[in-house]
Amino acid sequence: MIHFLLASENTPFTIALVLMVAIGALELVFSLFGPGLSHLIETGLPDLNHELGDMAPHDAHALDDVPSPLSKLLGWLRVGQVPLLILFVVFLTAFGVIGLAIQFALANLTKMLMPAPLAAIVAFLGAVPCVRTGGGLLAKVLPRDETTAVSEDSFVGRIAVITNGTARQGSPAEARLQDQHRQSHYILVEPDVEGEEFPSGATVLIVEKHANIYRAIHNPNSALVD
């Protein structure tokens, strides 16, 4: 089996599966010390929903009204419904498994392996529909932000709860808040006051926004809740 996995004809698929495992390990490590890797990537990317007209990310059919072919392709691939990193992991998994399955079946039938470029094309064509199908299933079970075209600037003045990690200046942590529609959003928060820390479970008051990071202070009034 090791010889099969390391065969040059299977290199693209073995690399894809190794990369998938590496991403999973990094996600675990990042989650232990603060926001998950997928969340950091999402917050560092342009707001796709804003560029597509502030449509709800969970509305798969809304993208069909956008004339741009790219927007339709992204909507078909579930981009905006599921974090990009998760979709990438689904693609890597499907690409690797399909490619190895094809090569394994071919080796049993003909005692030969398909050339890597040709096998990669076949596996790619099989993996793309898997991204749509897998993304659709994950969109139903993953927590998500049920947005209603709410401006992120409106989060200032709201109470948030630290959900993952300990927030320090220069090392933000993930927090959850609710907008005026009582819909949840996950943001990155760091203390506004140098030297303060917000452990997981702490309630804080959002006071300002810098780029993708929100500054907060300790909740000044226990009557204020998320």
pLDDT of residue 222: 66
Tokens of 5: 């996995």
pLDDT of residue 33: 63
Could you tell me the domains of the chain? 2-141 (no CATH), 152-218 (2.40.50.140)
Strand ranges in 63-219 using DSSP code E only, listed in sequence order: 159-164, 173-178, 184-191, 203-210, 213-218
Lowest mean pLDDT among 17-31, 135-149, 182-196: 135-149
Of 208, 226, 204, 219, nearest in space to 154 by CA: 208
Asked if 59 and 80 count as a contact pair (C-beta separation under 8 A), the reply is no
pLDDT of residue 31: 64
Strands 159-164, 203-210: pairing is antiparallel
- pLDDT of residue 57 exceeding 60, the answer is no
Lowest mean pLDDT among 2-6, 89-93, 109-113: 2-6
Percentage with pLDDT > 90 across the chain: 37
Lowest mean pLDDT among 95-109, 122-136, 146-160, 171-185: 146-160
pLDDT classification of 151: cutoffs 50, 70, 90: low
Tell me the torsion sign for CA atoms 170, 174, 178, 179: positive
pLDDT of residue 123: 96
Taking the CB of residue 37, how many other CB atoms lie within 10 A of it? 19
- Residue 210 CB contacts under 8 Å (≥ 6 apart), including other chains: none
Q: What is the mean pLDDT of residues 20-38?
A: 73
pLDDT of residue 86: 86
pLDDT of residue 68: 57
> Model confidence over 209-221: pLDDT tens digits?
887 789 999 988 7
Amino acid at 97: V
> Model confidence over 67-96: pLDDT tens digits?
457 667 777 887 767 778 888 999 999 999
- pLDDT of residue 150 exceeding 70, the answer is no
- Residue 101 CB contacts under 8 Å (≥ 6 apart), including other chains: none
- pLDDT of residue 39 exceeding 50, the answer is yes
